[in-house]
Amino acid sequence: MHKSISQINERIRDGSARVVTAEEMPAIVAELGEQGALKEVDVVTTGTFGAMCSSGAFFNFGHAEPPIRMERIWLNNVEAYGGLAAVDTYIGATQQSDTREDEYGGAHVLEDLVAGKSVELRASSRGTDCYPRRTITTELLLENLNQATMCNPRNAYQRYNAATNTTDRTLHTYMGTLLPGCGNVNFSGAGLLNPLSNDPHCRLIGSGVPIFLCGAQGMVVGEGTQHSPAGGFGTLMVTGDLKQMSPDYMRAATMTGYGVTLYVGLGIPLPVLDIDVVRATAVRDEDISVDILDYAVPSRNRPVLRKVSYAELRSGSIDLNGEEVKTSSLSSFRRARKVAAELKGWVEQGKMQLALPTRPIDAKKVSRPMHQSTLGPRVLDIMDRQVVSIHEDEEIKTAAKKLLKGETNHLPVINAAGILVGIVTTFDISKAVANPGKAHLVKDIMKTKVITAKPDEAVDIAVQKLEKHNISALPVVDAENHVLGILTAMNLGKLFGGRWLK
């Protein structure tokens, strides 16, 4: 059996279409069988509501008198793109305010406009013969704009890897607050309600397909940026009219320590054309799995701790190395349901008809990492190789002499096997001298918890360690913890004026 899109649209028009949400579909297929479900159901609505950083909107302000060709543009002190003709701009959701930093950003500008609040436009220009005006400041409401078109380059991730943290300190990431020692696991995504998870081969979702976008009727533009459906990480570029949107389905947010983002509500109605659609839309949370990544590793390739399904993640806790760890969602399943339900209402009431893609989306694409023609500076490029170290059984006095002679403030401490076992600083020695006690040897006063760097580590990672731990030197060690050098704040000076900043 096969249903055509025009048959389905006819049923939508005469109000007889059977519309269900993707959450209801698995039970229907289990009850009626695949053929029965195909006969019964005409449309499956999907929905997701989560943080989608790659979002923003195009605005056209109309011309001022005298006219201005805006070159730098701010909306409520959030900079918008000034390279689009005279009075067009694009504001990105994650752009932060010049004055309020992560308290307010592009996402908040969009939310304020949709909520009916006025926003201050400020722009400057060098002035031309045709556009003489050099500055402008004006208060604008959404209705004052000629166009306010949301256009989000990367939304509706098919699924997203979960996050945890094996370090001993709290990490603040775009995946939320990650507690030390794998204290929690954060995840994002609507699982069985997600649009692309219900159409993983992109048979129904493609350019021109009507969607629910933040409460407005929008459209799929095409594949999203970083679209990588071959590995299960498809994305969509979508658009919709900001003037039709509702603050119920779009919310500005701030991930502490990361920055501003926009929560987007997005849903796609899927026509149940054939048995393959029935099978795809019967997907359950149990069937969709993601990796739990360790955000302790500040790299593009983070270690995978285990695989987990959305059903497990949504249960509230999972097993991680024999321990029960609580899970938190960053997206809202309740609002994803509301999106799918609202969209169901639209189709049932004939407010939205369905369409097949005018241009398909490649379902086999794989996204590649950045091509880097030059590598950034690594620790070995700037570290001090002339490192003075001391044996743990030496006297404190010897350490003091070495510090003076070596004109350094940090002495890595090694054991008989030449392995790094601690560090002493001028501060430690001064303290030992000022408060003479039982301590005589270096090992009595050294700090044994040494923060180190690896020679091939990026300098930026080492700098982050210095900042996070509020220290000024990192011993550089090999895999066996032999000291190869030391990186101090002074070495960082080599970065300036050197070949790395060209």
Q: How far is the CB of 254 from other proteins (least distance, A)?
A: 6
Give how many residues touch other proteins by CB under 8 A. 30
Among 54, 198, 261, 491, binds other proteins (CB under 8 A): 261
The residue annotated as part of the active site, out of 53, 130, 182, 214, is: 130
Q: 340 in helix, strand or coil?
A: helix
130 is an active site residue: yes
Pick the closer one to other proteins by CB: 262 or 270. Answer: 262
> Cα–Cα distance between 78 and 101 in angstroms, integer?
9
Cα dist. 84→80, 89, 480 in Å? 10, 6, 55
Pick the closer one to other proteins by CB: 135 or 256. Answer: 256
> Cα–Cα distance between 163 and 187 in angstroms, integer?
6
Site residues for other proteins, 173-192, by CB under 8 A, read 176-177, 179, 183-186
Number of Cβ atoms within 10 Å of the Cβ of 135: 12
Q: How far is the CB of 175 from other proteins (least distance, A)?
A: 10
Alpha-carbon dihedral sign for residues 136, 141, 144, 145 = positive
Q: How far is the CB of 176 from other proteins (least distance, A)?
A: 5
**Single-letter amino acid code for the residue at 24:** E
Q: How far is the CB of 335 from other proteins (least distance, A)?
A: 6
Q: How far is the CB of 238 from other proteins (least distance, A)?
A: 19
Q: How far is the CB of 98 from other proteins (least distance, A)?
A: 20
Q: How far is the CB of 224 from other proteins (least distance, A)?
A: 22
Separation of CA 478 from chain center = 32
Pick the closer one to other proteins by CB: 333 or 346. Answer: 333
Q: Which residues contact 459 (CB under 8 A, 6 or more apart)?
A: 376, 377, 378, 379, 381, 382, 492, 495
Determine the interface stretch with other proteins among 6-14, 28-36, 330-338, 459-467 (rule: CB under 8 A). 330-338
> Cα–Cα distance between 17 and 21 in angstroms, integer?
13
Determine the interface stretch with other proteins among 246-254, 276-284, 302-310, 366-374 (rule: CB under 8 A). 246-254
Q: Is the peptide bond before 66 cis (omega within 30 degrees of 0)?
A: yes
β-strands 162-164, 289-294 pairing? parallel
**b/e per residue 243-275 (b: at least 16 CB within 10 A):** eebebebbbbbbbeebbbbbbbbbbbbbbbbee
Number of Cβ atoms within 10 Å of the Cβ of 351: 11
What x-and-dash track marks residues 335-374 binding other proteins by CB under 8 A?
Answer: x-x-------------------------------------
Pick the closer one to other proteins by CB: 20 or 185. Answer: 185
Pick the closer one to other proteins by CB: 343 or 466. Answer: 343
Pick the closer one to other proteins by CB: 55 or 329. Answer: 329
Q: Does 251 bind other proteins (CB under 8 A)?
A: yes
Within 118-268, strands assigned E span 119-124, 135-140, 147-155, 162-164, 171-173, 176-178, 184-187, 210-213, 216-223, 236-241, 250-255, 259-267
Number of Cβ atoms within 10 Å of the Cβ of 304: 12
What x-and-dash track marks residues 288-317 binding other proteins by CB under 8 A?
Answer: ----------------------------x-
Q: Does 166 bind other proteins (CB under 8 A)?
A: no
Q: Does 326 bind other proteins (CB under 8 A)?
A: yes
Q: Does 263 bind other proteins (CB under 8 A)?
A: yes
Site residues for other proteins, 183-242, by CB under 8 A, read 183-186
What x-and-dash track marks residues 43-82 binding other proteins by CB under 8 A?
Answer: ------xxx-------------------------------
Q: How far is the CB of 210 from other proteins (least distance, A)?
A: 25
Pick the closer one to other proteins by CB: 332 or 408. Answer: 332
Pick the closer one to other proteins by CB: 343 or 382. Answer: 343
Check: CB of residue 412 under 8 Å from CB of residue 389: yes
Q: Can you spell out the DSSP letters for 110-151? A: HHHHHTT--EEEEEE----SS--B-EEEEEE-GGG-SEEEEE
Question: Residue 424 pairs with which residues in a beta bridge?
Answer: 411
Enumerate binding residues for other proteins (CB under 8 A): 49-51, 176-177, 179, 183-186, 251, 253-256, 261, 263, 316, 325-335, 337
Catalytic residues: 130
